[in-house]
Structure 1
Amino acid sequence: MANNLMQEFPDIQILKDEPLSKYTNTKTGGPADWLAFPKDVAEVQKLVQFADANAMPLTVIGNASNLIVRDGGIEGLTMILTQMNGIQVEGNRVIAQAGASYIETTKAARDHSLTGLEFAAGIPGSVGGAIFMNAGAYGGETKNVASEVTAMLPDGTIKHYDNEELDFGYRHSAVQDNHGIVLEAVFDLKPGDQAEITALMDDLNARRAAKQPLELPSCGSVFKRPEGYFAGKLIHDAGLQGYTSGGAQVSTKHAGFIVNVDHGTATDYLNVIHHVQATVKEKFGVSLETEVRIIGRETE
């Protein structure tokens, strides 16, 4: 294994022992041993094949909006794909690279009078993350509009998926199962009225701003929706809004969110999550599963 990835790949921006708190939406997270920002598919492939050949752990993160990185950081090589952010519109199709903002992708659709992506107007993740998690909001889901996805497998080979092959489910897609790296997605949309599209996006964003604590760092909705219940209501009914550990707090605005109120750490976040899960289980007998991805090394 190379001792210095920066020397191995001089054309790729690579940082050593870089704090991931600079990149996560929670403003928490320990250092990545190596953090790379590939600019194109060829650079991704070089890094993936190098990691595979050297048995180096490889982690890929997008906008890090629905993610908690433990304070121990991430071993091996971490890639952030936000430099791969191209968006094209061809007819009724929007083609977006994995690092493109999902919000910017919805704006591109709107600007070309294409309807179907309005539900994602306020989802803060990347296109790659949206595919990976089958992101959804306000009755819409990524699975309803994503028709094709190009991904890279752990050995560096490229695979193309159609919608059926992606095996979309609730916050799930096939790339989670085979550890693929989303490179590009195609969204099949329909012609619409630009004024109506804009009005719906504006309405959804206003509703989001009214209900969610967008003014504070958070990882978005923390828990999956338990069958027959709403996580936020269970947390609210358990009297947990405002519960704080260190600098992390159950939002007083929306109980389904945990916000960073005072230089919180990932450990603070995890302490709040565990307390919420234990309290809701005790009071209502319901097990809350995390929707947010939790990755990285445990702190010693």
Structure 2
Amino acid sequence: MEVLEKELLQMNIGKVLKHEPLSNHTTIKIGGPADLLIEPDTIEHLQQAMSVIKKHGVKWRAIGRGSNLLVSDAGIRGVVVKLGNGLDHLEVENEAVRVGGGYSLIKLTTILTKQGLSGLEFAGGIPGSVGGAVYMNAGAHGADMSHIVRKAHILFEDGTMEWLTKEELDFSYRHSILQTERPGVCIEAILDLKQGKREEIVAVLQKNKDYRRETQPWNYPCAGSIFRNPLPQYAGQLIQEAGLKGYSIGGAKISEQHANFIVNAGGATASDVLQLIEYVKKTIKEQFGVDMHTEIEIID
């Protein structure tokens, strides 16, 4: 690892941090250290870094802005590639948008709606990056990323890169092919939006942001929705009906504002959160006969 670190530093590809606590890079403020964390400052530097990582045969994985992510207290062995400030380019040409995977989804939504472009209103208030949103097919208010993605530039496990069309991404509810058959990370995407009336688009966006602010506990560190909705039922409603709002294990607590959120109420560990997740699963199964599945990505 020291040889790899030295080589990456010499290449000047961006940030290279040793034993970096991942609690600094997740919205729930939990996670042990990465052996090495790099944040390439361009796609070209990302390509160069991947070639060196492959040469040394070191395990790696990528993260974005750290929402919908729970990292174990032991951290991550190998290299963590953070798609951040270096991969946050934005080009707008008429109704087509080319955007880096590290771009903030909230920031992108705000900028484009103010330009009178419609299609991203559903994302008002959704934390995280564009890359993470494509990976998870993030959505709300009856819409999701599959409605607007034309194609995405993907970094695969073997370090190769390829553009995948919307059809090839095989989107479904909170799912893309990047999670299963073809594990990979979105490093940039092309979105198709529609020109509309700026005032109407901004009004819808603001309504969605207000709803999220009023109903979800963003005043605490959290990772977003913990469970997928077992449609036609809703995870939060089932957890609330089970009387679990406010239930806590260690520093992890089921939000009293929205039952499908687990918040870091202070000093929570990944172990606390995982125990709480298992308790919820067990309780919901016993009371309602429903199997609950996590929406967040768990790295242990």
Counterpart selection for 1:161 from 141, 160, 164: 164
Amino acid at match of 1:243: Y
Q: Are 1:39 and 2:41 counterparts?
A: yes
| Cα shift at 1:119 | 0.3
- Give me the whole-angstrom Cα distance separating, in 2, the residues matched to 1:238 and 1:154: 40
Counterpart selection for 1:15 from 14, 17, 34: 17
Aligned to 1:207: 211
Q: Give a deviation string over 1:274-299, Cα, whole Å, max 9, x none.
A: 11111111111111000000013xxx
Counterpart selection for 2:281 from 268, 277, 280: 277
Counterpart selection for 1:107 from 86, 90, 110: 110
| Cα shift at 1:52 | 2.5
Q: Give a deviation string over 1:166-211, Cα, whole Å, max 9, x none.
A: 1111111122232222111111011111111111111001111111
- Give me the whole-angstrom Cα distance separating, in 2, the residues matched to 1:76 and 1:6: 11
Secondary structure of the 2:146 match is helix
Structure 1: runs of 5 or more not aligned: none
Secondary structure of the 1:15 match is strand
Aligned to 2:246: 242
Measured at CA, do residues 94 and 188 of structure 1 come closer, stay the same or move farther in structure 2, by a change above 3 Å?
Answer: same
Secondary structure of the 2:236 match is helix
Q: Are 1:92 and 2:95 counterparts?
A: yes
Is the 2:4–2:53 contact (alpha carbons within 8 Å) kept by the matching residues of 1?
no
| Cα shift at 1:75 | 0.8
| Cα shift at 1:50 | 2.4
Is the 1:52–1:154 contact (alpha carbons within 8 Å) kept by the matching residues of 2?
no
Aligned to 1:51: 53
- Give me the whole-angstrom Cα distance separating, in 2, the residues matched to 1:155 and 1:257: 34
Is the 2:22–2:32 contact (alpha carbons within 8 Å) kept by the matching residues of 1?
yes
Aligned to 2:148: 145
Counterpart selection for 2:267 from 248, 263, 268: 263
- Give me the whole-angstrom Cα distance separating, in 2, the residues matched to 1:278 and 1:47: 43
RMSD of the alignment, in Å?
1.2
Aligned to 2:67: 65
Q: Give a deviation string over 1:77-125, Cα, whole Å, max 9, x none.
A: 0011112111221110121100000111112211321101100111101
- Give me the whole-angstrom Cα distance separating, in 2, the residues matched to 1:236 and 1:227: 16
Aligned to 1:193: 197
Please identify runs of 4+ aligned residues in structure 1 that moved more than 4 A.
none
Is the 2:4–2:56 contact (alpha carbons within 8 Å) kept by the matching residues of 1?
no
Aligned residue pairs total 295
TM-score of the aligned structures, taking structure 1 as reference length: 0.95
Amino acid at match of 2:29: K
Q: Are 1:116 and 2:116 counterparts?
A: no
Structure 2: runs of 5 or more not aligned: none
Counterpart selection for 1:231 from 235, 239, 248: 235
Aligned to 1:133: 136
Is the 1:49–1:155 contact (alpha carbons within 8 Å) kept by the matching residues of 2?
no
Secondary structure of the 1:9 match is helix
| Cα shift at 1:220 | 0.5
* Identity level (%): 42
Counterpart selection for 1:181 from 182, 185, 198: 185
Is the 1:116–1:145 contact (alpha carbons within 8 Å) kept by the matching residues of 2?
yes
